[in-house]
Amino acid sequence: MSVSFSMLKSHAGLAVAAALCLGFAVPQAQAAQPADDPVVAVVNGEEIHRSALEQIRAAVPYLKDVPLEHVYDALLDNVIDLSLVAAEARRTGLEKDPVVERNVKAAERQILRSVYLTRAIDEKLSDDKLKAMYADWVKENPAEEEVHARHILLETEKDARAVIEQLKKGGDFNAIAKEKSTGPSAGSGGDLGYFKQSDMVKPFADAAFAMKAGEVSKEPVKTQFGWHVIKVEDRRTAPVPSFDDVKPQLREQAAGEIAMDIVKGLREHADIKRLGLDGKPVVAPKP
């Protein structure tokens, strides 16, 4: 279902207000202040930067993929409200409340962890390291053969054999697929595009990969979906994904490993005393 920008604008205020009130839109910690971060409002002398809107938009699932300009007014209104309420809470001395202090400390721990790990990962994770990982990835994921095929899916073997005879007499595969195939690809003449052997159910894949380009199956192929008549259009070796294509997943993998190593090292040099759920020392069971 498509969602118009006018709908997003009309609902953005409610979405952000609810998120802020319920505490769901805690801004994500950033490693550094953005270079282009203009002041977008001043509330009783307090400057509000565009990054505050960006952080909250990214933290609200309903809005994170929506361009900022389409929800700018709603976000700005809500950040202004947030600033006003927070200032009023400080005026009443609420920042000294034990509940607030505990939550501030918890948020501070999360932000410190996020910024520290982000910077540590950035220092360790160069493009050269990622390219070395990519070279290993290519070795572990060699290029595979692909087949470009069409098929006509039929309910019975009898119907499939009748189609094969029709094709032998010069029938047009695409036209017959559009007319008789019961599969979802019927509208495109049974076109399945390029696929690897592991992409299809075994009986179908075995038959397709045993055929040459331009060949039509001489016998119907049975799968759990019905009876197939297959035409192989082309065969090729699948192109290996480029470094830029694979880089995001390599970076995510490496970042996770670096973070785990950092935490492991910190644990090894820390004095940690674990207690039970009731806060009392854990008594080891007797042997």
Q: How far apart are the C-alpha atoms of 209 and 146, rounded to whole Å? A: 8
**40 in Cβ contact with 51 (< 8 Å):** no
Q: Tokens at residue 200, please?
A: 């299809």
pLDDT (tens digit per residue) in 100-156? 999 999 999 999 999 999 999 999 998 999 999 999 999 998 888 999 999 999 999
Task: Tell me which amino acid residue 92 is.
Answer: T
What ranges do the domains of the chain cover?
5-97, 145-237
pLDDT at position 33, please? 52
Burial of 1 (0-12, 13-18, 19+ CB in 10 A): exposed
pLDDT (tens digit per residue) in 231-271? 999 999 988 899 999 999 999 999 999 999 999 999 999 99
Task: Tell me which amino acid residue 34 is.
Answer: P
Q: How far apart are the C-alpha atoms of 94 and 208, rounded to whole Å? A: 71
Q: How far apart are the C-alpha atoms of 154 and 176, rounded to whole Å? A: 11
pLDDT at position 29, please? 44
Q: How confident is the model at residue 57 (pLDDT cuts 50, 70, 90)?
A: confident
Query: Buried (b) or exposed (e) across 110-149, using 16+ Cβ within 10 A?
Result: eeeeeeebbeebeeebeeeebeebbeebeeeeeeeebbbb
CB count, 10 Å around CB of 233?
A: 16
Of the listed ranges 23-32, 59-68, 219-228, the one predicted with least confidence: 23-32
> What is the DSSP code (8-state) at residue 284?
P
Which range in 27-31, 79-83, 150-154 is most confidently predicted, on average pLDDT?
150-154
Residues contacting 20, CB < 8 A, separation 6+: 56, 78, 81, 82
Q: Tokens at residue 207, please?
A: 């038959």
**220 in Cβ contact with 229 (< 8 Å):** yes
CATH class of 145-237: alpha beta
Of the listed ranges 34-48, 149-163, 225-239, the one predicted with least confidence: 34-48
Q: Roughly what angle, to the nearest 10 degrees, separates helices 173-180 and 157-168? A: 150
Query: What mean pLDDT do residues 178-187 have?
Result: 95
Q: How far apart are the C-alpha atoms of 156 and 220, rounded to whole Å? A: 10
Q: How far apart are the C-alpha atoms of 198 and 206, rounded to whole Å? A: 10
Laid out side by side, the sheet with 145-154 consists of: 191-196, 145-154, 226-237, 221-223
Q: Please state whether the predicted TM-score (pTM) of the whole model is above 0.85.
A: no
Residue 6 predicted with pLDDT over 50:
no
Q: Tokens at residue 225, please?
A: 């979906």
> What mean pLDDT, rounded, does the chain reach?
87
Q: How far apart are the C-alpha atoms of 82 and 80, rounded to whole Å? A: 5
